[in-house]
Structure 1
Amino acid sequence: MLDDDFFEVLRANNIPEFKVSINNAIKDDVYCIRENYNQWEVFYRERGKEFNLKKFDTKEEAQNYLLNYLIRIR
């Protein structure tokens, strides 16, 4: 899934885009998707710390996991 498509699904589900960062884990108080040594990681970053780290083989798996999670908790 392209990043634009990912953010379109977020918008369609009334999830603010600023809640997610892709490959830019410097931000705080966001859910992050990043590539790390040929794996994709999803985690929540707050106050410089990473929480609930999940690892995936593909970016699409990571995006789908995060989308489903965010839709479920909204």
Structure 2
Amino acid sequence: MTKIELEKKLREEDVRVDSYSLNGGLPNEAYCLNRTESGWEVYYSERGNKTGLKVFDNESDACGYLFQLLAG
């Protein structure tokens, strides 16, 4: 799954758009997907901190994991 496909699936599942960011950053109380030099990060952002950080080798695994967190 790509980031674009993930965004479409999240909308189909009516997941609140303020509960996630597919462009990284540190929004308050949101799950995030972020592309870095070392891979794809998925984490929870709260009060300017990353918690529960997981790093994936590929976009598909990261997107699948984030989808499970948000829609599962």
TM-score, structure 1 as length reference:
0.81
d(CA) in 2 for partners of 1:24 and 1:66? 12
Higher RCO structure (Cα 8 Å, ≥6 apart): 2
Aligned length: 72
**Alpha-carbon deviation of 1:68?**
1.2
Residue 69 of structure 1 corresponds to: 69
Instruction: Provide structure 1 residue ranges, at least 5 long, that are not aligned to the other structure.
Output: none
- Say whether 1:40 aligns with 2:54: no
Taking structure 2 as the reference length, the TM-score comes to: 0.83
Alpha-carbon separation, structure 2, partners of 1:64 and 1:48? 24
Deviates more, 1:2-11 or 1:39-48: 2-11
Unaligned runs of 5+ residues in structure 2 are none
**Residue 61 of structure 1, CA deviation:** 0.9
2:4 is paired with a residue whose SS is helix
Asked whether the equivalents of residues 7 and 17 of structure 1 are also in contact (C-alpha less than 8 Å), the reply is: no
Aligned-pair identity in percent equals: 31
Counterpart of 1:18?
A: 18
Question: What is the CA RMSD across the aligned residues, in angstroms?
Answer: 1.5
**CA separation in 2, counterparts of 1:24 and 1:42?**
9
